[in-house]
C-alpha cells in the first residue's frame, strides 16, 4: 500500500507554494501591511487557481477533490501565514457539500468562484471548543443567541457557520447570515497580527440548521485538522529559516551550525516537525475515511502533537537566531504569533490529550 501523495498532488502543492511566495511574501507584513487590505489581492489569486473550489463537487464548478488533497495545501497556507478567512471558506465547501443539501448548489457554486465568504464561529470564553460547555444556543422559536470569540474576518463574511446547542442541549451546526439582524461583530486585539479576529454576538438571530447532530462535531474536527497542518507548515518554515541562518552566522571562525550542540538542536526540531506533519496527514486521512471514533482519536493526536511541536520549534528558532531573532529584519515574530494563536485555536494540547486518552481507553475496552 502506498501511503505517499501522488505526483499530481505534489505538483499542485508546488504551484500553490510558488504563487504564495510571489504574491504573498512575509515582507508585506513587515512593511506594516494591514491584514484586511492584503487579503483582497490574495483572494483573487487563489480564486484564479481554483483553490476555493478544491473540495466542491465538479457538477457545482469545483475540482471535486477531498481532504487528503487539501492537506498539502493547508500546510503551505500555514507556512505562508495565509489569513484564516481563506481556510475557513475552503473548509466550509466540504461541510456544505457533505451536509447542506437544501442550499447546496447555489452556495457551492459561489464558494468555488470565491464569491461567498464563510467564517466559523465556535470558540467561547468559558466553553472553549467543548460543545457540552457552550452557552450559545437556540431558543424555543429557533433563533440563535450567545457570543463567540476569535471569528476570523467575521465583518467581511457573507455566512457564519456556528456550532451551538439546540433547545434540547444537543450540539449542531447552524448557518447564519453574517449581515442579518441580531448579528454584531466587533474586532478583537489578538496575539496574531497577521489576521483579523472578531467577537460575534447573536441576539435572536435567524439560524438554519446544517446537517444532523454530527455536523457540528465534524466541523470542529475538520478545523482542528487544518490548524494542525497549518502548525506543521509554520514549524517547517521556522526550521528551514533557522538551518539557513546557522549555516551563515559565524562564531570563532566557523558557522555556528558546525557546532555539535547546534546540530543536535536542529535535528530535534526536524524530528518534531516531521512527526507533527505525519500526524496532520493522518488526521486528514481520518477526516476523509475513518469512522467517528477513529476520526476523533486521529484528529486529537495530530492537533496535540502539532501544538507541542510548535511551542518547541518556535522557541528553539528564536534562541538559535540569538538577538537577531527578536528583530523586524528576521520577522520571526509573525509565524511565532500565528503559531501560538493556532496552538489555542480548535483545542489546546490538554483538551486533545484528554480526547486521545478517552479514545484509547475505549479501544482497550472494546478489544
- Residue 281: φ, ψ to 5°: -65, -40
Is the model's pLDDT at 136 over the cut of 70?
Answer: yes
Domain ranges of the chain: 7-115, 119-210, 215-366
pLDDT of 179-208, one tens digit each?
A: 999 999 999 999 999 999 999 999 999 999
Tell me the CATH number for domain 119-210.
Answer: 2.40.110.10
Q: Are 24 and 87 in contact (CB under 8 A)?
A: no
Q: What is the Cα Rg of the chain in Å? A: 21
Contacts of 3 (CB under 8 A, 6+ apart): none
Average pLDDT for residues 218-231, to the nearest whole number?
Answer: 97
Is the model's pLDDT at 51 over the cut of 70?
Answer: yes
Q: What percent of the chain has pLDDT over 90?
A: 75
CATH entry 3.30.1330.10 includes domain 215-366: no
Bridge partners of 137, per DSSP, are 145, 165
Helix axes 260-289, 67-80, angle to 10 degrees: 140
CA nearest to 128, candidates 365, 363, 352, 364? 352
CA dihedral 139, 145, 148, 152 (to 10 degrees): 110
**CATH topology assigned to domain 7-115:** Butyryl-Coa Dehydrogenase, subunit A; domain 1 (1.10.540)
pLDDT of 284-335, one tens digit each?
A: 999 999 999 999 999 999 999 999 999 999 999 999 999 888 888 888 999 9
Q: Are 140 and 189 in contact (CB under 8 A)?
A: no
pLDDT given for residue 43 in this prediction: 94
pLDDT given for residue 27 in this prediction: 85
Q: Which three cell numbers stand for residue 271?
A: 524530528
Is the model's pLDDT at 122 over the cut of 90?
Answer: yes
- Please indicate whether the domains covering 7-115 and 215-366 agree at the CATH topology level: no
Is the model's pLDDT at 283 over the cut of 50?
Answer: yes
Give this prediction's pTM. Answer: 0.94
CA dihedral 77, 225, 193, 339 (to 10 degrees): -100
Instruction: For the chain, give percent helix, strand, coil, nearest 5.
Output: 60, 15, 25
Write down how long the chain is: 367
Q: Are strands 208-210 and 171-177 parallel, antiparallel or unpaired?
A: antiparallel
| Confidence grade of residue 102 (pLDDT, cut at 50, 70, 90) | low
**Residue 118, helix vs strand vs coil:** strand
Amino acid at each position: 500500500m502506498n501511503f505517499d501523495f501522488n505526483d499530481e498532488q505534489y505538483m499542485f502543492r508546488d504551484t500553490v507554494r510558488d504563487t504564495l511566495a510571489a504574491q504573498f511574501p512575509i515582507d508585506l507584513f513587515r512593511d506594516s501591511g494591514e491584514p484586511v487590505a492584503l487579503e483582497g489581492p490574495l483572494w483573487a489569486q487563489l480564486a484564479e487557481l481554483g483553490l476555493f473550489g478544491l473540495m466542491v463537487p465538479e457538477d457545482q464548478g469545483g475540482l471535486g477533490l477531498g481532504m487528503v488533497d487539501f492537506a498539502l495545501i493547508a500546510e503551505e497556507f500555514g507556512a505562508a501565514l495565509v489569513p484564516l478567512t481563506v481556510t475557513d471558506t475552503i473548509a466550509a465547501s466540504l461541510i456544505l457539500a457533505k451536509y447542506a443539501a437544501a442550499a447546496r448548489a447555489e452556495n457551492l457554486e459561489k464558494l468555488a468562484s470565491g464569491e461567498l465568504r464563510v467564517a466559523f464561529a465556535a470558540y467561547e470564553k468559558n466553553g472553549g471548543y467543548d460543545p457540552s460547555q457552550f452557552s450559545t444556543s437556540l431558543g424555543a422559536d429557533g433563533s440563535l443567541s450567545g457570543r463567540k470569540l476569535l471569528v476570523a474576518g467575521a465583518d467581511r463574511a457573507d455566512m457564519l457557520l456556528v456550532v451551538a446547542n439546540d433547545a434540547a442541549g444537543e450540539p449542531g451546526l447552524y448557518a447564519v447570515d453574517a449581515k442579518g439582524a441580531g448579528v454584531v461583530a466587533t474586532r478583537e486585539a489578538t496575539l496574531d497580527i497577521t489576521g483579523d479576529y472578531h467577537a460575534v454576538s447573536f441576539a435572536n438571530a435567524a439560524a438554519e440548521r446544517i446537517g444532523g447532530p454530527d455536523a457540528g462535531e465534524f466541523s470542529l474536527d475538520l478545523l482542528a485538522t487544518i490548524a494542525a497542518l497549518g502548525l506543521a507548515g509554520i514549524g517547517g518554515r521556522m526550521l528551514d529559516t533557522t538551518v539557513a541562518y546557522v549555516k551563515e552566522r559565524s562564531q570563532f571562525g566557523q558557522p555556528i551550525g558546525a557546532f555539535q550542540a547546534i546540530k543536535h538542536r536542529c535535528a530535534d526540531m526536524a524530528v518534531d516537525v516531521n512527526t507533527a506533519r505525519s500526524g496532520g496527514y493522518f488526521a486528514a486521512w481520518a477526516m476523509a475515511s475513518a469512522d467517528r471514533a477513529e476520526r476523533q482519536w486521529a484528529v486529537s493526536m495530530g492537533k496535540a502533537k502539532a501544538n507541542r511541536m510548535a511551542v518547541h520549534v518556535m522557541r528553539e528558532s528564536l534562541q538559535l537566531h540569538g538577538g537577531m531573532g527578536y528583530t523586524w529584519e528576521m520577522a520571526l515574530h509573525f509565524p511565532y504569533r500565528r503559531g501560538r494563536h493556532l496552538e489555542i485555536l480548535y483545542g489546546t494540547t490538554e483538551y486533545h490529550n484528554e480526547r486521545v486518552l478517552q479514545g484509547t481507553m475505549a479501544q482497550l475496552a472494546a478489544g
